Amino acid sequence: MFGIIQAAGWPIWPLLLCSVIALALIIERFYNLRSSVVLPATLLDDVLSISQRGVPRPESIEHIQSTSSLGEMISAGLIFLQNQPLCSKDEFESEMQASGRRVAAKLERYLSTLGSIASVAPLLGLFGTVVGMIEIFGSQTPGAGNPAQLAHGISVALYNTAFGLVIAIPSLVAWRYLRSRVDNFVVELEIAAERMVHHFFTQRTLATSP
């Protein structure tokens, strides 16, 4: 491996840095975008069940917040209801939407960086190719060529092109998959927020009806 790096020349180092960052981001995002971390299957139903008689106690809200991304959004709505028990439906909807946007921003964290690496890696590979071509032409001195410099220039050009593609393709595939996964989670969070609003204001209507 070290021999390949030497043959690829100094332009390979930015590509290696990109590969390390991309791998770290992919592992981190796959770990933190698991369904159990973002949208536990029974959390919303459990919260609605314990909220039949009103907003849960503060310690229960703290526990809900610590469970998942969905729990963060739900707890923000519950805290809002605690502080403003007479809020209107529109006010509660606005708070749920705002908390949902905050959670969505956390889910999207690092995805733009991963997408940027997928876009930049081929360009860095092309840059290395250009450097290699310059070395190739530099080896062709009038009267006699330099075979060693010619071979090195070819190595730099080919290895950097290959490394750029090897980094860009998996990064792009991972970015597209993770982007789609986040979009699906955001839709589920929106549905959960609507259920929360409907539940609490249905409960309020039933409590105030004669």
List CB contacts of 163: < 8 A, sequence separation 6 or more. Answer: 8, 12, 15, 16, 19, 125, 128
Q: 168-177: per-residue pLDDT in tens?
A: 999 999 999 9
The two structure tokens encoding residue 199 = 């539940």
What Rg do the C-alpha atoms of the chain give, in angstroms?
A: 27
Q: What is the pTM of this model?
A: 0.83
List CB contacts of 72: < 8 A, sequence separation 6 or more. Answer: 65, 99, 102, 103
Contact 122, 154 (CB under 8 A): no
Average confidence score pLDDT of the chain: 85
- What is the structure's pLDDT at 149? 66
- What is the structure's pLDDT at 145? 56
Contact 38, 70 (CB under 8 A): yes
Q: Is 53 exposed, middle or buried (0-12, 13-18, 19+ CB in 10 A)?
A: exposed
Separation of alpha carbons 90 and 35, rounded Å:
29
Q: 1-30: per-residue pLDDT in tens?
A: 566 666 656 778 889 999 999 999 999 999
Separation of alpha carbons 192 and 188, rounded Å:
6
Residues of the chain with pLDDT under 50: none
Residues in the chain: 210
